Chain A
Amino acid sequence: MKVLAAMSGGVDSAVAAARAHDAGHDVTGVHLALSRNPASYRSGARGCCTIEDSNDARRAADVIGIPFYVWDLSERFHADVVEDFMDEYAAGRTPNPCLRCNEKIKFAAVLDRALALGFDAVVTGHYAVLREGADGLVELHRSVDAGKDQSYVLGVLDQHQLRHSLFPLGDTPKTRVREEAAARGLLVADKPDSHDICFVADGDNAGWLREKLGDRAPNHGGAIVDDETGEELGRHEGTYGYTIGQRKGLRIGTPAQDGRPRFVLDIEPVAGTVRVGPRERLAVHGLEGIRPRWCGTEPTSLQGTVQLRAHGAEHRAEVEVSGHGADQRVSVRLLDPAEGIAPGQAVVVYDGSRVVGSATISATHRSPAGASA
């Protein structure tokens, strides 16, 4: 096959490209430039869109012996990922830009362009397994390295996208990938993993949001309120500085009457109110999801597991799907309650190791009966 290897400049995508090349595919390497002004993005080894990363990707392509280009996706990335990230935070939700990037950029804009240019598939360094199921559909599964599993951020891919994807690293633990990179003479073998959000240069999400959103956010400043008594405990400079489940940095002067720590329970972006309370009130027993994306056949109901954040725990769950098209909804009853779940995050549904699909969390339920908290 003719395959396009998306090369971030990191070790995983380099080894993935090398493996695709070894497998006899005709591989072309592409580094996705996601910022017009790379210096404004994260520097050093932490991100994936600096000049240094572009050079690392280029050198990896040289060593593998494949052609290499830089594709400018900065406008699409800004419109589809960065703007969305800001809009979601301004609306009091907690988005996951990596899922969004996979859905809109890597496996959409890039894949579409690759297919049109005559490629058959896109290969990436994600830790996940693709395998053909009994029904002939391509299935997405968790990787064998549970600690590195990235099936969660791929839960937005549909059958068309999966059919034109290759994830050569899913069967390999990360440590072996690094060893293989070293053995192949790839200089990125010991380059640190990227983490956090690539377009937030210093890793300070709240600071970045404060600078970008500024007065635009309707929630610029407001009260921190005790969820039970309604008492105002303090003030904040924008709800985007808070995440549900957050304990530190609340800047509340008076301690709780029972002396126990308080956590962010809820964020009301329009009113600008941050509600806090004791830990036991964080527990979420159910949630609602919108904008579902299915990897294969759409289920109607399912007993399986769900994952609620990247590298988060698995929760046993009962999933019900209702409605069709844009109105389709997903209801999840969590048999194992979860904490710190915020609207905007993605719920990814699994059947064993297989990813069934995903949805964006629109509401959470704090009682086992399903009443909204």
Chain B
Amino acid sequence: MGTRRRTLGDVMTPPVYLDHAATTPMVPEAVEAMVEQLGRAANPSSLHASGRAARRAVEESRERVAAALGCRPGEVVFTSGGTEADNLALKGLAWARRGQDARRRRLLTTAVEHHAVLDPLEWLATAQDFVVEHLPVDAEGALDLDAVARALAEPDEVGLISVMWANNEVGTVQPLPEVVAAAREHGVPVHTDAVQAVGVLPVDFAASGVEAMSVSAHKVGGPHGVGALVVRRDLELAPLLHGGGQERDVRSGTLDTPAVVGFAVALELAVVRREQHAAHLAALRARLVEGLRRVVPDVVLNGPDAPEWDTRRLPGNVHVSFPGCEGDSLLMLLDARGIECSTGSACSAGVPQASHVLLAMGRDDDAARSSLRFTLGRPSSEADVDAVLDAIGPAVERARAARL
């Protein structure tokens, strides 16, 4: 029944992990800080000495997070992560703003947001009688500013505008300053999902002019299950979680002190090391893209290309389409060789859907399904990139033959 072939299953260790946009390993400093906290039993809301110590750790972390993100400590609301921060910002703002003025039913966003933004908005539209408008992007995934201006022509009806800082799939940096300028003119609050930007781009909340910003710990070398919504104090926000009134009554629930401490340590380091880190990623990105083009000449880089990618693309993102391949097949073939990446598409029940981001960029279903996303991180090396370049040629050949 055939001879043994060498392509699948020849697992090499350690794996070449190139999915850092999904999550990235914790930095040792954050692990140490967390472990120290994990040994203590204290609720930061308790009034005794142990409680005060935990509260102090939380508040010091809040101050470190604030310093790293360019906001005031009082503007940091700790959440369970980026998804909760997005939900709190969007639902909390939409409800509060409509409560102030019933005409504010229109919610503006881009067609390329993460599902943690798209889906709460969709729910607000279907269950809460809001109207969501998905503003178009260009072929590189950047928001169409004319469309923003048109959508803001009737600002009295607009509840909010949510525009991600940088795209998680194709790495495109959005023209957020222009969006903020346009929205400010009309008094419309801006929320941004900055989950992918923190640690690689200069992210300063106050300087950005946005009203609310979502961040996540595990994308910057911190633990899973913690993040923050940075939100201006003058902004009214309806809470999602009601209970003990923690986090200035916006987000009830006992704070996870070890996670908050780990988050702060990791975020602080990520911001301190940002420039050096970004340069490291950008050099590897250039090596990977150049190599992929050499090995697979018809490969298509999705999103901004050199030299504009220095300012318009996340330095660690390489999102490529391999014409004639299924991304799923490629992922499996590379996985079998110990190379871990993503198809860059949303997965529910593991059923891959064609990426809404690529479709919004005007690519067809085939292009969307033929993509892989490699995202570089702190531990990534030239050897990792070269392992991909060694494996990708045969994998593409096989995947083309296997196309359904």
Contact with A along B1-32 (1 / 0, CB 8 A): 11011011100000000000000000000000
Q: How far is the CA of A38 from the CA of B403 in the complex (A)?
A: 23
User: Is there contact, CB below 8 Å, between A67 and B336?
Assistant: yes
Contact with A along B223-260 (1 / 0, CB 8 A): 00000000000000000000000000000000000000
Shortest B343–chain A CB gap in Å is 11
B351 partner residues in chain A, CB cutoff 8 A = 33, 36, 38, 54, 70, 72, 74
Contact with B along A46-85 (1 / 0, CB 8 A): 0000010011001000000001011111101000000000
Contact with B along A21-60 (1 / 0, CB 8 A): 0000010100101001010000000000001001100100
Taking the complex as formed, is B89 at the interface, i.e. its CB lies under 8 A from any CB of chain A? Answer: no
User: Is there contact, CB below 8 Å, between A54 and B349?
Assistant: yes
Q: How far is the CA of A54 from the CA of B350 in the complex (A)?
A: 8
User: Is there contact, CB below 8 Å, between A113 and B332?
Assistant: no
Shortest B399–chain A CB gap in Å is 7
Q: A28-B9, A33-B349 are in contact. Are A117 and B329 (CB under 8 A)?
A: yes
A69 partner residues in chain B, CB cutoff 8 A = 328, 332, 350
Closest to B347 in A: A70
Q: Which of A28, A51, A116, A163 contacts B1 (CB 8 A)?
A: A163
Q: How far is the CA of A367 from the CA of B402 in the complex (A)?
A: 50
Q: A69-B328, A70-B350 are in contact. Are A120 and B7 (CB under 8 A)?
A: no
B9 partner residues in chain A, CB cutoff 8 A = 2, 26, 28
Closest to A50 in B: B349
B398 partner residues in chain A, CB cutoff 8 A = 116-118
Range, interface on chain B: 20 to 34
User: Is there contact, CB below 8 Å, between A2 and B5?
Assistant: yes
Taking the complex as formed, is A247 at the interface, i.e. its CB lies under 8 A from any CB of chain B? Answer: no
User: Is there contact, CB below 8 Å, between A72 and B352?
Assistant: yes
Q: How far is the CA of A38 from the CA of B335 in the complex (A)?
A: 26
Q: A26-B9, A163-B1 are in contact. Are A113 and B402 (CB under 8 A)?
A: yes
Q: How far is the CA of A54 from the CA of B5 in the complex (A)?
A: 28
A70 partner residues in chain B, CB cutoff 8 A = 349-352
Closest to B397 in A: A116
Q: Known A-B contacts: A2-B8, A33-B350, A54-B349. Give 15 more (CB < 8 A).
A: A1-B4, A2-B4, A2-B9, A36-B351, A54-B351, A67-B335, A67-B336, A69-B332, A72-B352, A74-B351, A112-B402, A113-B404, A116-B401, A116-B402, A117-B332
Give 27 CB contacts A-B under 8 Å.
A2-B4, A26-B9, A28-B8, A28-B332, A58-B350, A67-B332, A67-B335, A69-B328, A69-B332, A69-B350, A70-B349, A70-B350, A70-B351, A71-B328, A72-B328, A72-B351, A74-B351, A112-B404, A113-B329, A116-B402, A117-B329, A117-B333, A117-B402, A118-B398, A120-B2, A163-B1, A164-B1
Question: Footprint of A on B, CB under 8 Å?
Answer: 1-2, 4-5, 7-9, 328-329, 332-333, 335-336, 348-353, 398-399, 401-404
